[in-house]
Chain A
Amino acid sequence: MANIFPKWTNHLPIQILVAGGVLFISVIAGMTYYFTPKYTRVGYQPVQPVPFSHSIHVNQLGLDCRYCHSQVENAAHSNLPTTQTCMNCHSQIKLNSPRLATVRDSWKTGQPIAWVRIHEAPDYVYFNHSAHVNRGVSCVSCHGQINNMAVVWHHEPQSMDWCLTCHRAPENHLRPVNQVTNLNWKPEDEGPGKDGKLRTQQEIGEQLKVAWNVNPPVTCAGCHR
């Protein structure tokens, strides 16, 4: 009787095992690397209808975030500015610039500018800007150095893991409330403490956490209500 299985098939089981193992591990590795907001969201930088630059308006002119995002301290939602907010200045400055044509059209017709939304939490998550901003969590902790961006991109993953990392150790992010919109703030700016040494983020954070009794929710119902 002839051999049904030729000699090379002796290695087949081990080869299938090795190939299967390699495939399995690489699929898992690929999923952990790619199937997370760290990959899907970070770096999202859509083309906006107006080439608006935060670095010109914040760094160069010195506008405060709240001149435009005026409800961020009072509301859950941080609003985008109205067309009038742009026209406050652009009715006088650069009033013929072609890059501002969309703004002028919007001002004439009353149709809002269709800004493309970048940061967008899922609708089953309860998120509140005012709860964070009034407790010394800066925009920079959640949005990155917006003041240096010519075009805004998604800088932090804003996943559930990311929220919880801060909620478990908020002292790494707290700062005095009047410095929340100063994205260049450094703990050293607060000057030396009692011992004459410059103070660290840890010290300032701990102190504020105790002073304000900061206690961010880590139970499911805190964010999924």
Chain B
Amino acid sequence: MKYFFLAFAAVVLAVVLIAGPRGYKSTNRPFEFFPDMDRQPKVKAQTESVFFADGIGPRQAVPGTVPLGWDIPAKAGGDKPEMQRATNGYTAAPDYFNTGKMGDRWGDGLPVPATAALMKRGQDRYVINCQICHGANGGGNGVTSKYGWVGIANYHDQRIVDMADGEIFNTIANGKNTMYGYGGNITVADRWAIVAYVRALQKAQLGRPSDLTPEQQANLK
């Protein structure tokens, strides 16, 4: 009996020492005790694939692919006729809403109604995606400028104040010089919301009392 307990204690000690406590940091893949159907041979988002030579599961579109997406046409369309959706709302239609261009120049004006909800959405997306570089007030003084990045655009430069909305839209989608594009991260509708918010930031910084109605000016005093 003595030998049994000695052997038993040795085994327990060995198990505890090798296996460690719960939560122990380890680089070994978690062991799956009953692996039935845990890993099915299907391609999930962002996974590897042994089928394709480059090993990448999610494929890129073949050049010339025609997008078949569809948005609800009622959603888009501003007050000017050029802002109306070109075709019946195909997601990649070459119209103002999707490209920021009217004909071959940058268009101006929001192709979506400028509501308080749009502003809120724009602020939300701006804080996530742009504030890190352009700063909370759009002055180009975000966190990255403290890590030696010079030349981040200041929205209060006259050049950008005068810039057409469509060009700002295009900068968000495709980038400009050292700023890379955010087209992959921000949906088309959200890009317009951000444009609206960038305009609001400019107004907040450069607005003058003369922009207000006489009643509002009276309230200032």
Chain A interface residues toward B at CB < 8 A: 15, 18-19, 22-23, 26, 30, 33-35, 37-47, 61-64, 66-67, 70, 75-77, 79-80, 82, 84-85, 87-89, 91-93, 111-112, 114, 122-124, 153-154, 178
Report which residue of A18, A47, A70, A153 has the largest number of chain B beta carbons within 10 angstroms of its beta carbon: A70
A66-B128 CB under 8 A given contacts A43-B23, A122-B37: yes
Q: Is the CB of A30 within 8 A of B15?
A: yes
B51 within 8 A of partner (CB)? no
B residues less than 8 Å from A33 (CB atoms): 22
Q: Is the CB of A80 within 8 A of B25?
A: no
B residues 185-213 touching A (CB-CB < 8 Å): 185-186
Q: Mark B119-130 against chain A: 1 for CB-CB distance below 8 A, else 0.
A: 000001001110
Residue pairs across A and B with Cβ atoms less than 8 A apart, 7 shown, are A23-B8, A44-B28, A61-B132, A84-B181, A84-B184, A91-B180, A112-B56
Question: Complex formed: what's the CA distance from A92 to B142 in Å?
Answer: 14
- What 4 pairs between A and B have smallest CB-CB spacing? A77-B45, A122-B38, A123-B40, A70-B185
- CB < 8 Å: which of B27, B128, B143, B144 contacts A45? B27
A40-B30 CB under 8 A given contacts A45-B25, A85-B185, A92-B149: yes
B105 within 8 A of partner (CB)? no
Q: Is the CB of A124 within 8 A of B128?
A: no
Q: How far is the CB of A207 from chain B (nearest CB, A)?
A: 22
Q: How far is the CB of B18 from chain A (nearest CB, A)?
A: 11
B residues less than 8 Å from A38 (CB atoms): 22-23
Q: How far is the CB of A8 from chain B (nearest CB, A)?
A: 11
B residues less than 8 Å from A67 (CB atoms): 128-129, 132, 185
Q: Is the CB of A63 within 8 A of B30?
A: no
Q: Is the CB of B38 within 8 A of A47?
A: no
B residues less than 8 Å from A15 (CB atoms): 1, 4
A residues less than 8 Å from B45 (CB atoms): 75-77, 79
Question: Complex formed: what's the CA distance from A63 to B129 in Å?
Answer: 9
B68 within 8 A of partner (CB)? no
